[in-house]
Homo-oligomer: A and B are copies of this chain.
Amino acid sequence: MAELADLASLEMLASWDQQVMMPVEGAVARAQQLGVLARITHERATAAEIGDWLEEIAAALRAGEQLEEIDRDIVRIARRDWERARRVPEELAAELAQASAAGQESWRVAREHDDFAAFLPALARNVELARAYGQCVAEDGESAYEALLGDYDYGLRTAQLRRVFGALGEALAPLAAEASVRSPRRTLEVPVAAQRVAVTSTLTRLGVQPSSWRVDVSAHPFTAWIGRGDSRVTTRYSDGQVESLLSSLHEYGHALYERQIDPALARTNLGQGTSMSIHESQSKLWENHVARSPAFAEVLAAELGAGGFEVSAAELHAALVGVEASPVRVSADPLTYPLHIVVRFELELALIEGELPVAELPSAWREAMGRLLGVDVPSDALGCLQDVHWGAGSFGYFPSYALGCLIAAQLWEALEAELGSREEDLRRGEVGAIQRWLGEHVHRYGRRLDTMALLERASGRPLEIEPFLRYVAPLAGR
């Protein structure tokens, strides 16, 4: 387990380096190095001896031996991981890897030329392989799509997602229309130099110290946790945008989650974030409920002022939350963002379940975007070709983005219910109580609890959409 954890860390280091430090001409060699790491990791994660150890432990337990609580979870998750990995035939795993690489390249070219037909064969193949993979991995009673979800979020049920995302779409669509009038999107021309000052001093305020953190720039912001005491976030800067402020808080949320996992779980199979949606909830909590709060806008405005850019807290806040329905997911505002995910969930589920022929994806995309977001899709490049995920063979990944928004809102309400309103603290840039509450109720568990069990333990309730709707209601003037 320790070896697998260390191999995962090395993989993360090599990827971080590739995106942040590596000279471009090192790319071919790096792909080979990452390939070797993946192969060795797969080999060890599926080794027959793991099965022998699990059998030995099971026999000892049957004979009356006891395990400590943490060890019980280690064994439970080890069995789950090992069995899931072993269910995939070698040939299928190789086909998936090959189709993912080819699909990404096909997607890249097709998007560049706005040519869905050119992408169609690769997409059809990815759908077919994903379905086959899901069927292999599925446990008793699980559908192929549920098995795919399980790679990112173990235990999610399609029926629950249909219900939650269906209700979310119905409730959010009218709110979005109102909010785009009441809280329209505005741009703020913030020079990069001021953004840099604000990002650095804000992160420092949250505890980002050079002794155990790095903050760098990369084309796409991301977070790497290389090991205990080594957290690395990236952001990006462009003139006239405030994205750097939001993205640095977003990535901070991911990093803080991994940092506050119980040290006793380090180098075990439990010592990492439990799922994509809980991870995304942690980044969204800092992005939506801290960085986009009116109170914290005072801190951010002061930091921008120290960087030479004068702006009022109210103006800054308005720029951070302004709503405008658009065809593009990655630049979407906090209110319409989950609607983009509902579109993708509906469509990828229909693709995997065979209800939507792959060739009809562009028209189905236009229909769903019109119905849920009220926008016209100007081209496939800005429509169903905008994301790499399906080209890379990732199905079942999108839901975690919206679940992250919902879970963040639900956790934030639970946190404020226990600690009282955070408004005064946030106005002063005080986040210690928030960090501690998250550490205690969410982070420390690592993989010991799956998504829904963790959410219920932390918030006292099953997944609900109402906290998120209450969070965005003010944008629509409700």
Q: Which residues of A contact B (CB under 8 A)?
A: 2-3, 6-7, 9-10, 13-14, 17, 21-30, 32-33, 35-37, 39-40, 210-214, 226-231, 267
Contacts and interface: CB of A to CB of B under 8 A. Distances in A.
Given A6-B33, A28-B227, A33-B227, 15 more contacts: A3-B36, A3-B39, A3-B40, A6-B35, A10-B14, A10-B36, A21-B21, A23-B229, A23-B230, A23-B231, A25-B212, A25-B230, A26-B229, A29-B227, A30-B227
A41 to B, nearest CB: 10
Q: Which 3 A-B pairs have the closest CB atoms?
A: A29-B227, A26-B230, A25-B229
Given A26-B212, A26-B229, A33 B21 contact: no
A219 to B, nearest CB: 15
Contacts of A23: 210-214, 229-231
Contacts of A267: 32
Contacts of A9: 29, 33
Contacts of A36: 2-3, 6-7, 10
26 contacts: A2-B36, A3-B39, A3-B40, A6-B35, A6-B36, A9-B29, A9-B33, A10-B14, A10-B33, A13-B13, A13-B14, A13-B17, A13-B33, A21-B214, A23-B210, A23-B212, A23-B213, A23-B231, A24-B211, A24-B229, A25-B211, A26-B230, A28-B227, A29-B228, A30-B227, A30-B230
A196 B404 CA distance: 46
A17 to B, nearest CB: 6
A45 B214 CA distance: 35
Contacts of A28: 227-229
A123 B154 CA distance: 54
Contacts of A37: 6, 10
A225 to B, nearest CB: 10
The SS class assigned to the A binding surface is: helix
Nearest to A40: B40
Contacts of A6: 32-33, 35-37
A39 B7 CA distance: 12
Contact of A29 (B25, B33, B35, B230): B230
Contacts of A226: 22, 26, 29-30
A209 to B, nearest CB: 8
Contacts of A213: 23
A382 B322 CA distance: 66
A231 B33 CA distance: 15
Contacts of A211: 23-25
Contacts of A25: 211-212, 228-230
A25 B232 CA distance: 12
A468 to B, nearest CB: 35
A13 to B, nearest CB: 6
Nearest to A266: B29
A62 to B, nearest CB: 33
A230 B22 contact: yes
A9 to B, nearest CB: 5
A32 B25 CA distance: 29
Nearest to A6: B36
A191 to B, nearest CB: 25
Nearest to A226: B26
A6 B37 CA distance: 9
Contacts of A229: 23-29
Nearest to A30: B227
A58 B379 CA distance: 62
A33 B13 CA distance: 10
A25 B211 CA distance: 6
Contact of A10 (B10, B24, B214): B10
A158 B270 CA distance: 53
Contacts of A24: 211-212, 229
A234 B2 CA distance: 32
A194 to B, nearest CB: 26
Contacts of A13: 13-14, 17, 33
Nearest to A25: B229
A47 to B, nearest CB: 13
A174 B6 CA distance: 54
A54 to B, nearest CB: 22
A26 B228 contact: yes
A33 B8 CA distance: 9
